Amino acid sequence: MRLAFLLLLLANLVLLAWRQGAFGPVADAGREPQRLARQIAPEQIRVLSSDQVAALRGPAPAARGGNGTLACVELGDFDEAALARIQPRLAALALGDRLRARRVDAPGWFIVYLPPAATRVEAERLAQDLRSRGFRDLRVMGPATQMPNAIVLGSFRDQELAQRHQVDLTRRGLKGVQVTERASGSETTRFEIRGVDPALTQQLAEIQKEFPQSQLGACAN
């Protein structure tokens, strides 16, 4: 009986020493919170949407022939002022019927705003109150606009920047801030070039650098 007691006591001591790591690191059972503690900045983990994943992957590579020739690339977009500069540069490449220009809708804007007030007087009073509270970059939309008496708090080409501004204004105590997209109402020019060999690709890349707002990539279709 005494021997059994001593053996049981010894087994418990060995088990305790093992759990304390006396015989090396102990494999985690995988339970929380131990597993969570091993993560790197777990509070920064977020689930990406399919659009965000596609953006991280970047544009699909252009189809290439056996000699490295690209089937089609696009260069654009150019407003009227930039168009007058890009056309002579492309003409010098003597592309012939491999070059095609087409008109496309210019990118719109993402507007951060407060919904329209009932009257112009009320909208102006609210705008003045906001200025006194430190919200300086704002304007009241006129009667001939799409949102008369709305208070615009910012406009952005990039939707994510607009949403960040919305969150920041809300954090600063401004309630009811919304974001909407507005078409530009204008057109730009985009060029398609077909049968682009590596030498021409390099030439187009050099030209594109002269127009920082433009992009060079594979054709969408």
- Taking the C-alpha atoms of residue 167 and residue 185, their distance in angstroms, rounded to an integer, is 28
- Same topology for domains 64-107+186-218 and 109-182, yes or no? yes
Domain ranges in the chain are: 64-107+186-218, 109-182
Does 52 score more than 90 pLDDT?
Answer: no
For 88-134, the DSSP string reads HHHHTT--GGGEEEEEEEPP-EEEEEEPPPSSHHHHHHHHHHHHHTT
**pLDDT for res 186:** 82
pLDDT at 130: 94
Assess if CATH 3.30.1490.20 describes domain 64-107+186-218.
no
pLDDT tens digit string along 76-107?
889 899 999 999 999 999 999 999 999 988 87
Q: Quote the pTM value.
A: 0.46
Helix (H) or strand (E) holding 156: strand 151-156
Give which of 123, 127, 147 is closest to 135, Cα–Cα.
127
- The answer to whether residue 46 scores a pLDDT higher than 60 is no
State the fold for domain 109-182: Alpha-Beta Plaits (3.30.70)
